[in-house]
Amino acid sequence: MARIGIVGFMHESNTFASTPTTRKHFEEAHLDFGEDLVPTWKEAHHELGGFLAGCEKESLEAVPILAGWATPTGPLTKECYEEILCEILKGLDQAGPLNGLLLALHGAMVAEGFDSADGETVSRIREHLGASFPIVMTLDMHGNVSVPMVECPDATIIYRTYPHIDQRERGLEAAALIAKMVRGECHPRQAMVKPPLLVHIVQQYSEAGPMKRVMDKVREIASSPGILSASFAPGFIYADVPDMGASAVVVANGDLELAKRYSRELADFAFSLREELNADLPSPEEAVREAAQIPGPVSLMDCGDNVGG
């Protein structure tokens, strides 16, 4: 039975927030090691739960390494980031022989010294495990996808919903894909195109409007011959980093040119909707004036709080 490592290290970092994220923030939320992560995550509506359930479904032995998650705050301190990453690498060494890795990152983690902390994480894991070791990675739809996040894993799979409701489904997809890889049934090749596009957070709702059209296009491409997976990440505008913005990622079976063609098609389609993906919101003062004219209770929300996840 093939043995698949399970790792999660997730944080949505708001670079405008003044509170740095420390190890204590992870410990207060979730920082689970080895088998201790199974009771917390196995039934969770989360990609880690999908990893575990998917491995069982595919007759793979899941080998839990580490699961770390903290509430969105400011960037991680260098000490926090390096400590947890070192524990991941140490856990991989102590896990015994592995045949593959399922890796859950967020995509918008920023750490002191690393604008793309997730890119740094998967780069170091790839270097640690070797060039031919199978790695399938999942990302949040709000990931600011950097080049290493596509070049280092064999396949990158991103949520398709906002508010996020498909995390477990994406974890199951990742487990099914790595099962095919270790059985020699597929050979993922992936490509990314980043259109010059910042998608307003209030236009990222995936069940209606322009983002639904983008996600319909994602599903159309994903079902095309030769394609293993397709994703679109609108990005996270509250992480002010060089890779901030939208990304189209397509995974093909052994055909890099096909992946490039479809990722360009997806990126161009999203860019064609750029006017619809923008939004003009009232200022706080205007919002208060408007609210005062409305009878009954009124909720005032700062969209920067990102209440949909």
Q: Give the pLDDT confidence score for residue 201 in this predicted structure.
A: 86
Q: Give the pLDDT confidence score for residue 306 in this predicted structure.
A: 63
Q: Give the whole-number percent of the chain exceeding pLDDT 70.
A: 98
Distance CA 30, CA 212 (A): 32
Q: Give the pLDDT confidence score for residue 281 in this predicted structure.
A: 86
For residue 68, what are its two tokens?
């770390």
Q: Where in the sequence is the domain holding 126, given as residue range(s)?
A: 3-305
Going 94 to 98 to 102 to 106, the CA torsion angle's sign is: positive
Q: What is the DSSP letter of 62?
A: E
Q: Give the pLDDT confidence score for residue 305 in this predicted structure.
A: 66
- Judge contact between 44 and 105, C-beta under 8 A: no
The number of domains in the chain is 1
229 beta partners = 251
Q: Give the pLDDT confidence score for residue 265 in this predicted structure.
A: 99
Distances (CA, A) of 55 to 189, 216, 223: 22, 28, 23
pTM: 0.95
In the chain, which residues have pLDDT < 50?
none
Q: Give the pLDDT confidence score for residue 57 in this predicted structure.
A: 98
Backbone conformation region of residue 182, classed left if phi is above 0, alpha if psi is from -120 to 50, else beta? alpha
User: On the CB side of 101, how many CA atoms lie within 13 Å of its CA?
Assistant: 31
Number of other residues whose CB lies within 10 A of the CB of residue 127: 11
- Judge contact between 143 and 107, C-beta under 8 A: yes
Q: Give the pLDDT confidence score for residue 279 in this predicted structure.
A: 86
The continuous run of DSSP H or E covering 175 comes out as helix 167-182
Distance CA 154, CA 175 (A): 13
Contacts of 281 (CB under 8 A, 6+ apart): 202, 303
Q: Give the pLDDT confidence score for residue 303 in this predicted structure.
A: 75
